[in-house]
Amino acid sequence: MISKRTQTSLKRELRSNPIAILGVVLFMSLVIGALFAPILAPHDPTRQYSTENHQAPIGFGSEDQRTVLIDGEIQTIASDNRGTLTHVLGTDANGRDLFSRALYGARTSLMVALAAMSISLLLGTATGLTSGYYGGRTDSITMRLVDIVLAFPALLMALALFGILGPMTIWIPDPLVTSGLVSDRPASVPFPGTVTIAISSVIWVWIARVARAEALSVKNEEYITAARTMGMSDFQIIRRHVLPNCLTPILVLGTVQLATIIILESSLSFLGFSGTTLSLGFDIAQGRSYLGTSWWIASIPGVFIVAAVVGINLIGDWLRDALDPDIQGGGA
């Protein structure tokens, strides 16, 4: 699907652009961290080491005493909460290892991102290309529909859909654990189904808009007319000629929208509408109660979100710079 020339220009841009490499490295390390979370995480993300709670990340914390919020009252107890190698990024209020939780949380984010993006790409591309290719009444009806979905802020709509569907969590067996490669880790991981559906239903319209615009711009090209004269069916023309010629901008937008999806997912779980507790947004919400005493609980998961989104945005810039001659060198 991706032409030789496109590949060359992508590679050239990547070589001359160290920032793009940084993006790829950032994103890939999170993908690997999430994919192999059971192996890479030093602890079970749900296990509570109750005697080691509120432990600071390595290099932080103090030796003598700490203040803790117990039953809504701030109390000072004597203890040592300095960071240790056992919990490199510290522990939360229940003594769960934050690094392990962050890896598993990143897993949830990326699973949702991948699933929601696949659904949006399929739905958006199919609708957009059909709408743009046929034009006329099909086009105006579809586009008004898109306008209606766009009129609702994505987060509000996703929340409302969550309110209708309720949490639907699908437990997916973890192949790394079931195969016996690692033990002591959760045997299955929660996949927040409702979050995925809710996010897909607001993201596909953006893909549809771009797909339609691209289809409009190629539909009167000579090769389309030629294909039509040769007696190809509309479906074949869309699949063989329109789609490949519209794919690049759609994929670039898809990449950029991954960032939006990750932020939406974390916002939903932050607000308590996700159906899983293994999520970066959920951990940030938990950490809010301990800002005065254990700053790291809310901070650490956020750093992972920002890293993932920065990575995606840098990759998006790289793709745009390499593929869109109009704004060559214009992006950051």
State the pairing for strand pair 188-192/169-173: antiparallel
Dihedral sign, Cα of residue 312, residue 165, residue 281, residue 98: negative
Residues 279-308 within binding reach of other proteins (CB under 8 A):
281, 284, 287-288, 291-292, 295, 298-299, 302, 305-306
Residues 164-223 within binding reach of other proteins (CB under 8 A):
164, 166
Least distance in angstroms from the C-beta of 147 to other proteins: 5
Burial of 270 (0-12, 13-18, 19+ CB in 10 A): buried
Do residues 155 and 274 lie in contact, with contact meaning Cβ atoms separated by under 8 Å?
Answer: no
Least distance in angstroms from the C-beta of 236 to other proteins: 31
- The residue range among 72-80, 113-121, 155-163, 221-229 that interacts with other proteins, by the rule CB under 8 A, is 155-163
Choosing from 27, 99, 104, 162, the residue that interacts with other proteins (CB under 8 A) is 162
By CB under 8 A, is residue 153 in contact with other proteins? yes
Question: x/- contact string, 224-263, with other proteins (CB under 8 A)?
Answer: -----------------------------------x---x
State the pairing for strand pair 73-78/169-173: unpaired
- The size of the interface with other proteins (CB under 8 A), counted in residues, is 47
Total residue length of the chain: 332
281 alpha-carbon distance from chain centroid:
12
Least distance in angstroms from the C-beta of 22 to other proteins: 11
Least distance in angstroms from the C-beta of 265 to other proteins: 10
Choosing from 24, 114, 123, 155, the residue that interacts with other proteins (CB under 8 A) is 155
Least distance in angstroms from the C-beta of 112 to other proteins: 14
> By the criterion CB under 8 A, which residues form the site for other proteins?
144-145, 147-148, 150-157, 159-164, 166, 259, 263, 266-267, 270-271, 273, 281, 284, 287-288, 291-292, 295, 298-299, 302, 305-306, 309-310, 313-314, 326-327, 330-332
